[in-house]
Amino acid sequence: MTALNSTAQLQYLVQWFSEWSDLQRSDFLLILAENYAHKAYVNGIVHSISNINCRDKPMSLFECRIKLFKEWYTQWNVDTKEAFLKRIGEIDANFIEKLNAEIEAKEALGDSNNLENETH
């Protein structure tokens, strides 16, 4: 099988995003925020999907797509990552607002944890 280039990967992910339910988008929001903010979430779907190989039942289609996103995202350059955000923002501008708020909250939490560690 031939590997997909980043343009094809982006097209697939944008298509999948457009098909996802609100619940799937909210799960993906946490995964996307984790990648953009470089923070690891401890609970929730992000943690469960990271341990996907330890399951007895087959992955859902959504989980397979998230697995591909995680693999592809690490290979993308900054321009491709920005193009992805722009494209999904054209589909769901509210999603991008929630994503920015989530990233800011995680960064603020990280900053307050760093300050707390420095004072002890």
- pLDDT on residue 55: 60
Work out the number of other CB atoms within 10 angstroms of the CB of residue 59.
14
Residue whose C-alpha is closest to residue 9's, from 63, 51, 65: 65
What mean pLDDT do residues 37-44 have? 50
Place of tokens 């955000």: 85
The pLDDT > 90 percentage for the chain reads 59
- Model's pTM, two decimal places? 0.75
Domain boundaries, the chain: 22-119
What mean pLDDT do residues 25-33 have? 94
Give 81's contacts (C-beta < 8 A, 6+ positions apart).
36, 73
- pLDDT on residue 108: 78
Measured CA to CA in angstroms, residue 107 lies from 36, 46, 80, 98, 110 at distances of 10, 17, 23, 14, 5
pLDDT reading at 48 higher than 90: no
Q: Mean pLDDT over all residues of the chain?
A: 82
